């Protein structure tokens, strides 16, 4: 998949045990100053301009007394200026905490305090950034950056509780860059991104795209038709999208009218990606399709090259090279091959820990008999006979009803087989008799008027007795985070009333 002219950039990264993204950008600026680097709806930067802007950011932070290892925070929509600020801070050895603009003021205040951020840059600040920057031509004092040096603090999406700050080191980010070697990144690549820069989902593609010398195009807000228009006009070669975005893109009535022939590779992560949707993307969208399974915390990573393994679309792939993934039971005992248990993983890319939360860090870790450190994923799964991981559900989402384990994903998949069901989510709610019992939330397809009770009875006739739904609610949309994860915590709040045993 690699173009011949990409060889120099690719070989340099392949042969370098550790480097920084900022250093890669400097090399591209020296060798290809006029090459496009960053673009949004309002601004375009070539590598010389991006590199100079990063220097001015780094010099301004040093002028303001912000030392290597200290933190700044950003809270802004994706833009070339936000990206340049992020990259410039990294050049100064400053840690970046990108925060979600959709957070409440109270949550933002808590995250900024937790990160101990010396400065917070919001959208309005970025619009006035020129006045804060060091003068044109300014050069920062060089700083030493080691693999263990903190790179950023990513706050978890908060789908199951209070967001925690995940400290990722430079070595972990360099591992993400090297992971991109097989995927056709290079100076001729154009990566179109429509997810926010505060999400690790975006960053695992954003940084490799620049490290390999490609161009990155940022959308401030995702719109399916606008995405396709930009992809066609820019001759996009790479992208990262979450499953709900793929779903909306493939549903555009004239999808085939757009010329997407330049695509080399499409990526997906962050939420369950159904086999049927993967098959549709493979059938109608040129280029390869790769699903990453893993956590922002790092540890275990699985990779499914869907175009190479069309019979494995129900899985999330095999452990990535250098990754050690195992299964453990509720008591933390390692399970033999063929078992079902919680997935834990060890890899070259792992978080240092949760920022200022040593107890939470310890809860996220598991150590084998030799003392080797693993990160617990909280996901329940099993490996098939070929070593591909099949995910069953989140451990925290698993419903225990009458002593039986119920996996919501099984019920969600069954509901989606009904022609009236566009989206479905299942959560457990308290039950006086069963402990917990499943309740579904369904978004109907346009043009269908099936009633909730009819859908509930349809499903209950097709599942085991212990899996039967106590209730089914029709909703206009499922609550989601900015990167498409269903907020099951909010759904549980909507289903507060304990249910009876009528469905049994």
Tens digit of each residue's pLDDT (9 = 90 or more) over 419-438: 999 999 999 998 888 889 99
- Residue pLDDT, tens place only, 219-249: 999 999 999 999 999 999 999 999 989 999 9
Looking at residues 179-189, what average pLDDT do you find? 95
The pLDDT of residue 214 is: 97
Given a cut of 50, whether residue 75 has pLDDT beyond it is yes
Higher per-residue pLDDT: 403 or 191: 191
- Residue pLDDT, tens place only, 351-361: 999 999 999 99
Whole-number average pLDDT of the chain:
93
- Residue pLDDT, tens place only, 78-108: 999 999 999 999 999 999 999 999 888 888 9
* Separation CA 427–CA 397 (nearest Å): 7
Given a cut of 80, whether residue 66 has pLDDT beyond it is yes
- Biggest CA–CA distance in the chain, Å, is 73
Of the candidate ranges 20-29, 177-186, 493-502, the one whose mean pLDDT is the lowest? 493-502
* Separation CA 191–CA 208 (nearest Å): 10
Neighbours of 447 (CB within 10 A): 7
* Separation CA 327–CA 455 (nearest Å): 36
Given a cut of 50, whether residue 502 has pLDDT beyond it is no
pTM value is 0.86
Listed residue (398, 363, 360) closest to 379, CA to CA: 398
The pLDDT of residue 497 is: 53
Given a cut of 70, whether residue 503 has pLDDT beyond it is no
The pLDDT of residue 6 is: 56
Given a cut of 70, whether residue 500 has pLDDT beyond it is no
């Amino acid at each position: 998949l690699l173009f011949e002219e990409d060889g120099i950039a690719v070989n340099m990264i392949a042969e370098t045990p550790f480097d920084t993204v900022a250093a890669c950008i400097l090399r591209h600026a020296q060798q290809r100053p006029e090459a496009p680097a960053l673009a949004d709806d309002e601004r375009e930067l070539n590598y010389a301009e991006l590199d100079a802007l990063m220097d001015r950011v780094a010099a301004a932070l040093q002028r303001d007394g912000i030392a290597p290892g200290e933190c700044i925070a950003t809270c802004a929509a994706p833009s070339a200026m936000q990206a340049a600020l992020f990259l410039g801070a990294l050049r100064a050895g400053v840690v970046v905490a990108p925060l979600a603009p959709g957070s409440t003021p109270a949550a933002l205040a808590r995250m900024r305090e937790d990160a101990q951020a010396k400065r917070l840059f919001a959208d309005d600040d970025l619009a006035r950034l020129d006045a804060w920057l060091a003068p044109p031509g300014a050069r920062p004092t060089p700083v030493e950056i080691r693999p263990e040096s903190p790179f950023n603090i990513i706050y978890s999406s908060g789908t199951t509780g209070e967001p925690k700050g995940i400290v990722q080191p430079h070595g972990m980010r360099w591992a993400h860059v090297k992971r991109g070697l097989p995927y056709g990144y290079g100076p001729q690549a154009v990566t179109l991104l429509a997810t926010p820069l505060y999400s690790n989902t975006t960053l695992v593609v954003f940084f490799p795209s620049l490290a390999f010398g490609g161009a990155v195009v940022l959308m401030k807000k995702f719109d399916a038709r606008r995405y396709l228009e930009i992809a066609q006009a820019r001759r996009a070669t790479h992208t990262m999208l979450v499953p709900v975005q793929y779903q909306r893109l493939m549903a555009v009535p004239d999808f085939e009218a757009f010329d997407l022939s330049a695509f080399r590779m499409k990526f997906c992560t962050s939420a369950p990606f159904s086999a049927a949707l993967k098959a549709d993307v493979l059938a109608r969208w040129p280029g390869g399709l790769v699903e990453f399974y893993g956590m922002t915390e790092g540890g275990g990573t699985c990779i499914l090259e869907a175009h190479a393994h069309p019979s494995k679309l129900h899985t999330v792939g095999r452990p990535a090279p250098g990754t050690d993934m195992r299964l453990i039971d509720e008591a933390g005992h390692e399970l033999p091959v063929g078992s079902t248990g919680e997935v834990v993983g060890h890899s070259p890319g792992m978080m240092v820990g949760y920022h200022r939360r040593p107890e939470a860090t310890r809860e996220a870790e598991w150590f084998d008999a030799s003392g080797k450190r693993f990160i617990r994923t909280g996901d329940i799964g099993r490996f098939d006979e070929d070593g591909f991981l099949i995910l069953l559900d989140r451990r925290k989402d698993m419903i225990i009803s009458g002593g039986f384990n119920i996996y919501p994903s099984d019920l969600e998949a069954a509901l989606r087989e009904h022609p009236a069901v566009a989206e479905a989510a299942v959560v457990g709610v308290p039950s006086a008799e069963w402990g917990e019992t499943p309740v579904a939330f369904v978004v109907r397809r346009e043009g269908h008027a099936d009633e909730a009770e009819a859908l509930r009875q349809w499903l209950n006739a097709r599942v085991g007795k212990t899996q039967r739904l106590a209730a089914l609610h029709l909703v206009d949309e499922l609550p989601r985070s900015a990167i498409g994860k269903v907020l099951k915590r909010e759904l549980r709040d909507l289903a507060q009333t304990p249910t009876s045993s009528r469905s049994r």
